[in-house]
Structure 1
Amino acid sequence: MAFLRKKRESPRVDLTPMVDVVFLLLIFFMISTTFVETPGISVKLPESSSQQRSQDIKEIKVYLSKDGDIFLGKEPVDMAELRRRLRTHGERVAEMTFLLLADKEALHGKVVALMDLAKETGFAKLAIATEQRERR
Protein backbone atom coordinates (compact mmCIF):
# COMPACT_ATOMS: atom_id res chain seq x y z
CA MET A 1 0.00 0.00 0.00
CA ALA A 2 1.41 3.32 -0.99
CA PHE A 3 0.81 6.23 1.34
CA LEU A 4 0.74 9.70 -0.05
CA ARG A 5 3.17 11.92 1.71
CA LYS A 6 2.02 15.46 2.37
CA LYS A 7 4.45 18.10 1.34
CA ARG A 8 5.89 19.64 4.41
CA GLU A 9 5.67 23.45 4.48
CA SER A 10 8.59 25.30 5.88
CA PRO A 11 7.67 27.50 8.88
CA ARG A 12 7.25 31.20 8.06
CA VAL A 13 7.26 34.16 10.36
CA ASP A 14 4.57 36.71 9.63
CA LEU A 15 6.16 40.17 10.01
CA THR A 16 2.94 42.18 9.66
CA PRO A 17 2.17 42.44 13.42
CA MET A 18 5.77 43.42 14.17
CA VAL A 19 5.68 46.17 11.52
CA ASP A 20 2.39 47.44 12.99
CA VAL A 21 3.92 47.64 16.46
CA VAL A 22 6.98 49.49 15.16
CA PHE A 23 4.78 52.06 13.39
CA LEU A 24 2.67 52.53 16.51
CA LEU A 25 5.80 53.12 18.59
CA LEU A 26 7.10 55.58 16.02
CA ILE A 27 3.83 57.54 16.10
CA PHE A 28 3.78 57.48 19.91
CA PHE A 29 7.30 58.91 20.19
CA MET A 30 6.66 61.53 17.52
CA ILE A 31 3.59 62.80 19.34
CA SER A 32 4.98 62.61 22.86
CA THR A 33 8.25 64.37 22.05
CA THR A 34 8.37 68.02 23.00
CA PHE A 35 10.46 70.39 20.99
CA VAL A 36 12.53 72.60 23.26
CA GLU A 37 13.42 76.09 22.10
CA THR A 38 16.39 76.60 24.38
CA PRO A 39 19.84 75.70 23.05
CA GLY A 40 22.20 73.19 24.63
CA ILE A 41 23.09 75.48 27.52
CA SER A 42 22.24 73.84 30.83
CA VAL A 43 19.99 76.31 32.66
CA LYS A 44 17.41 75.23 35.24
CA LEU A 45 14.80 77.98 35.31
CA PRO A 46 13.07 78.83 38.57
CA GLU A 47 9.38 77.99 38.88
CA SER A 48 6.57 80.50 39.02
CA SER A 49 2.80 80.12 39.31
CA SER A 50 2.14 83.35 37.40
CA GLN A 51 4.03 82.63 34.22
CA GLN A 52 3.35 84.90 31.25
CA ARG A 53 4.69 84.49 27.75
CA SER A 54 5.68 87.68 26.01
CA GLN A 55 4.04 88.14 22.62
CA ASP A 56 7.00 90.18 21.34
CA ILE A 57 8.94 88.62 18.54
CA LYS A 58 11.77 91.09 18.99
CA GLU A 59 13.74 89.89 21.97
CA ILE A 60 17.33 89.47 23.04
CA LYS A 61 17.92 86.20 24.92
CA VAL A 62 20.64 86.28 27.56
CA TYR A 63 21.43 83.08 29.46
CA LEU A 64 23.13 82.91 32.85
CA SER A 65 24.35 79.48 33.95
CA LYS A 66 24.73 78.42 37.57
CA ASP A 67 28.50 78.79 37.18
CA GLY A 68 28.08 82.47 36.25
CA ASP A 69 28.76 82.02 32.52
CA ILE A 70 26.85 84.47 30.30
CA PHE A 71 25.59 83.59 26.83
CA LEU A 72 24.07 85.92 24.26
CA GLY A 73 22.02 83.52 22.19
CA LYS A 74 24.37 80.56 21.89
CA GLU A 75 27.63 82.52 22.10
CA PRO A 76 29.53 82.81 25.39
CA VAL A 77 30.31 86.44 26.27
CA ASP A 78 31.63 88.36 29.24
CA MET A 79 29.94 91.43 30.74
CA ALA A 80 31.96 93.95 28.70
CA GLU A 81 31.32 92.13 25.43
CA LEU A 82 27.60 91.85 26.25
CA ARG A 83 27.44 95.60 26.95
CA ARG A 84 29.17 96.34 23.65
CA ARG A 85 26.87 94.06 21.66
CA LEU A 86 23.71 95.42 23.27
CA ARG A 87 24.75 98.97 22.42
CA THR A 88 25.03 98.05 18.73
CA HIS A 89 21.22 97.76 18.56
CA GLY A 90 20.93 101.52 19.02
CA GLU A 91 17.44 103.02 19.31
CA ARG A 92 15.68 99.71 18.57
CA VAL A 93 16.25 98.52 22.15
CA ALA A 94 13.33 100.64 23.35
CA GLU A 95 10.97 98.32 21.43
CA MET A 96 12.83 95.07 22.17
CA THR A 97 12.52 92.78 25.17
CA PHE A 98 15.55 91.74 27.23
CA LEU A 99 14.75 88.09 28.04
CA LEU A 100 16.89 86.84 30.94
CA LEU A 101 17.09 83.07 31.30
CA ALA A 102 18.98 82.63 34.56
CA ASP A 103 19.58 79.30 36.26
CA LYS A 104 17.74 79.03 39.57
CA GLU A 105 21.08 78.37 41.29
CA ALA A 106 22.80 81.39 39.70
CA LEU A 107 24.16 84.06 42.00
CA HIS A 108 21.67 86.82 42.75
CA GLY A 109 24.32 89.46 42.22
CA LYS A 110 24.94 88.34 38.63
CA VAL A 111 21.20 88.42 37.88
CA VAL A 112 20.92 91.95 39.26
CA ALA A 113 24.02 93.02 37.31
CA LEU A 114 22.45 91.74 34.08
CA MET A 115 19.19 93.53 34.87
CA ASP A 116 21.14 96.77 35.49
CA LEU A 117 22.99 96.27 32.22
CA ALA A 118 19.67 95.93 30.37
CA LYS A 119 18.41 99.19 31.86
CA GLU A 120 21.73 100.93 31.24
CA THR A 121 21.72 100.00 27.55
CA GLY A 122 18.18 101.33 27.06
CA PHE A 123 15.86 98.33 27.25
CA ALA A 124 12.39 99.37 28.35
CA LYS A 125 11.07 95.80 28.70
CA LEU A 126 12.69 93.11 30.82
CA ALA A 127 11.37 89.56 31.11
CA ILE A 128 12.71 86.83 33.38
CA ALA A 129 12.00 83.33 32.09
CA THR A 130 10.49 80.77 34.46
CA GLU A 131 8.99 77.32 34.17
CA GLN A 132 5.36 76.60 35.05
CA ARG A 133 5.03 75.29 38.62
CA GLU A 134 3.14 72.02 38.90
CA ARG A 135 -0.13 72.39 40.80
CA ARG A 136 -0.41 70.18 43.82
Structure 2
Amino acid sequence: MGFLRKRRGREEPKVDMTPMVDCVFLLLIFFMISTTFIETPGLSIKLPEASTQRDKDEAEEVKIYLSKEGEIFLADTQVTTAALRRHLEGFKERTEQMTFLLLADKEARHGQVVELMDLAKVTGFARLAIATEQRGPK
Protein backbone atom coordinates (compact mmCIF):
# COMPACT_ATOMS: atom_id res chain seq x y z
CA MET A 1 0.00 0.00 0.00
CA GLY A 2 1.26 3.35 -1.05
CA PHE A 3 -0.80 5.22 1.48
CA LEU A 4 1.37 4.50 4.42
CA ARG A 5 4.65 5.71 2.99
CA LYS A 6 6.61 7.93 5.33
CA ARG A 7 7.46 11.39 4.25
CA ARG A 8 11.10 12.35 4.35
CA GLY A 9 10.52 15.67 6.04
CA ARG A 10 7.99 18.37 6.20
CA GLU A 11 8.40 21.23 3.81
CA GLU A 12 8.29 24.60 5.50
CA PRO A 13 5.84 27.05 3.98
CA LYS A 14 7.56 29.85 2.05
CA VAL A 15 6.34 33.43 1.93
CA ASP A 16 7.22 35.31 -1.25
CA MET A 17 8.23 38.86 -0.28
CA THR A 18 8.45 40.23 -3.83
CA PRO A 19 4.87 41.56 -4.09
CA MET A 20 5.15 43.30 -0.72
CA VAL A 21 8.47 44.94 -1.67
CA ASP A 22 6.91 46.08 -4.96
CA CYS A 23 3.99 47.67 -3.10
CA VAL A 24 6.31 49.43 -0.66
CA PHE A 25 8.40 50.87 -3.50
CA LEU A 26 5.30 52.02 -5.35
CA LEU A 27 4.00 53.76 -2.21
CA LEU A 28 7.39 55.37 -1.65
CA ILE A 29 7.52 56.67 -5.22
CA PHE A 30 3.92 57.92 -4.98
CA PHE A 31 4.60 59.90 -1.81
CA MET A 32 7.87 61.30 -3.13
CA ILE A 33 6.17 62.60 -6.27
CA SER A 34 2.99 63.89 -4.63
CA THR A 35 4.70 65.68 -1.76
CA THR A 36 4.92 69.43 -2.17
CA PHE A 37 7.60 71.36 -0.40
CA ILE A 38 6.27 74.57 1.10
CA GLU A 39 8.97 77.18 1.39
CA THR A 40 7.02 79.56 3.63
CA PRO A 41 5.03 77.45 6.09
CA GLY A 42 2.18 79.37 7.68
CA LEU A 43 2.98 82.61 5.88
CA SER A 44 0.88 83.92 3.05
CA ILE A 45 3.18 86.15 1.05
CA LYS A 46 2.20 87.17 -2.46
CA LEU A 47 5.39 88.08 -4.26
CA PRO A 48 5.29 90.76 -6.94
CA GLU A 49 5.60 89.63 -10.56
CA ALA A 50 8.51 90.38 -12.85
CA SER A 51 9.16 89.45 -16.48
CA THR A 52 12.76 88.45 -15.76
CA GLN A 53 14.03 86.34 -12.94
CA ARG A 54 17.54 85.62 -11.73
CA ASP A 55 18.63 82.03 -11.33
CA LYS A 56 19.37 80.91 -7.81
CA ASP A 57 23.01 80.89 -6.76
CA GLU A 58 24.45 78.13 -4.68
CA ALA A 59 25.75 80.71 -2.18
CA GLU A 60 24.46 80.79 1.36
CA GLU A 61 21.50 83.10 1.87
CA VAL A 62 19.50 84.62 4.68
CA LYS A 63 15.76 84.67 3.96
CA ILE A 64 13.75 87.50 5.48
CA TYR A 65 9.97 87.58 5.00
CA LEU A 66 7.89 90.77 5.20
CA SER A 67 4.12 90.29 5.36
CA LYS A 68 1.58 92.82 4.11
CA GLU A 69 0.79 93.68 7.76
CA GLY A 70 4.43 94.69 8.28
CA GLU A 71 5.47 91.65 10.31
CA ILE A 72 9.08 90.54 9.83
CA PHE A 73 9.88 86.81 9.88
CA LEU A 74 13.25 85.10 10.06
CA ALA A 75 12.61 81.53 8.87
CA ASP A 76 9.27 80.84 10.59
CA THR A 77 9.67 83.00 13.71
CA GLN A 78 8.46 86.57 13.96
CA VAL A 79 11.18 89.04 14.95
CA THR A 80 11.50 92.74 15.59
CA THR A 81 13.83 94.98 13.64
CA ALA A 82 16.25 95.14 16.58
CA ALA A 83 16.31 91.34 16.96
CA LEU A 84 16.87 90.98 13.22
CA ARG A 85 19.78 93.43 13.39
CA ARG A 86 21.40 91.42 16.20
CA HIS A 87 20.93 88.20 14.22
CA LEU A 88 22.44 89.69 11.05
CA GLU A 89 25.38 91.18 12.94
CA GLY A 90 26.17 87.66 14.18
CA PHE A 91 27.33 86.66 10.70
CA LYS A 92 30.24 89.17 10.84
CA GLU A 93 32.76 88.61 8.01
CA ARG A 94 30.66 85.91 6.27
CA THR A 95 28.24 88.58 5.03
CA GLU A 96 30.47 89.31 2.02
CA GLN A 97 29.74 85.85 0.59
CA MET A 98 26.12 85.59 1.74
CA THR A 99 22.98 86.85 0.01
CA PHE A 100 20.29 88.81 1.83
CA LEU A 101 17.07 87.48 0.24
CA LEU A 102 14.05 89.68 0.92
CA LEU A 103 10.66 88.06 0.32
CA ALA A 104 8.28 90.98 0.72
CA ASP A 105 4.56 90.77 0.05
CA LYS A 106 3.53 92.87 -2.93
CA GLU A 107 1.15 94.81 -0.66
CA ALA A 108 3.82 95.54 1.97
CA ARG A 109 4.69 99.16 2.66
CA HIS A 110 7.51 100.46 0.50
CA GLY A 111 9.06 102.18 3.50
CA GLN A 112 9.50 98.91 5.37
CA VAL A 113 11.08 97.26 2.33
CA VAL A 114 13.59 100.12 2.13
CA GLU A 115 14.27 99.85 5.88
CA LEU A 116 15.10 96.14 5.54
CA MET A 117 17.30 96.82 2.51
CA ASP A 118 19.13 99.49 4.50
CA LEU A 119 19.51 97.11 7.44
CA ALA A 120 21.15 94.58 5.12
CA LYS A 121 23.61 97.22 3.89
CA VAL A 122 24.40 98.46 7.41
CA THR A 123 25.11 94.94 8.69
CA GLY A 124 27.59 94.31 5.86
CA PHE A 125 25.71 92.30 3.24
CA ALA A 126 27.15 92.94 -0.21
CA ARG A 127 24.49 90.93 -2.07
CA LEU A 128 20.82 91.79 -1.90
CA ALA A 129 18.08 89.95 -3.76
CA ILE A 130 14.36 90.67 -3.81
CA ALA A 131 12.23 87.63 -4.55
CA THR A 132 9.59 87.85 -7.29
CA GLU A 133 7.21 85.49 -9.08
CA GLN A 134 7.74 84.72 -12.75
CA ARG A 135 5.12 86.58 -14.76
CA GLY A 136 2.95 84.15 -16.67
CA PRO A 137 2.15 84.43 -20.40
CA LYS A 138 -0.65 86.82 -21.28
How would you bin the TM-score normalised by the shorter chain? 0.7 to 0.9
TM-score, scaled relative to structure 1? 0.74
Aligned residue number for residue 100 of structure 1: 102
- AA paired with 1:109? G
Gaps of 5+ in 1: 1-22
Aligned residue number for residue 74 of structure 1: 76
1:16-95 matched pairs, under 5 angstroms: 31=33, 34-95=36-97
Q: Counterparts of 2:33 and 2:60 in 1: how far apart (Å)?
A: 29
1:37-87: CA deviation from partner (whole Å, max 9, x where unpaired): 222211110011101132134000000000000011111101111001100
Residues 103 and 131, structure 2, Cα contact 8 Å, conserved in 1: yes
RMSD of aligned Cα (Å): 2.0
Residues 99 and 127, structure 1, Cα contact 8 Å, conserved in 2: yes
Q: Counterparts of 2:120 and 2:62 in 1: how far apart (Å)?
A: 10
Gaps of 5+ in 2: 1-25
Paired residue for 2:124, among 107, 122, 125?
A: 122
- AA paired with 1:114? L
% identical equivalent positions? 63
Aligned residue number for residue 3 of structure 2: none
Q: Counterparts of 2:88 and 2:54 in 1: how far apart (Å)?
A: 24
Residues 47 and 132, structure 2, Cα contact 8 Å, conserved in 1: yes
Residues 40 and 76, structure 2, Cα contact 8 Å, conserved in 1: no
Q: Counterparts of 2:95 and 2:106 in 1: how far apart (Å)?
A: 26
Q: Counterparts of 1:95 and 1:56 in 2: how far apart (Å)?
A: 11
- AA paired with 1:52? R
Residues 59 and 97, structure 2, Cα contact 8 Å, conserved in 1: no
Q: Counterparts of 2:137 and 2:38 in 1: how far apart (Å)?
A: 22
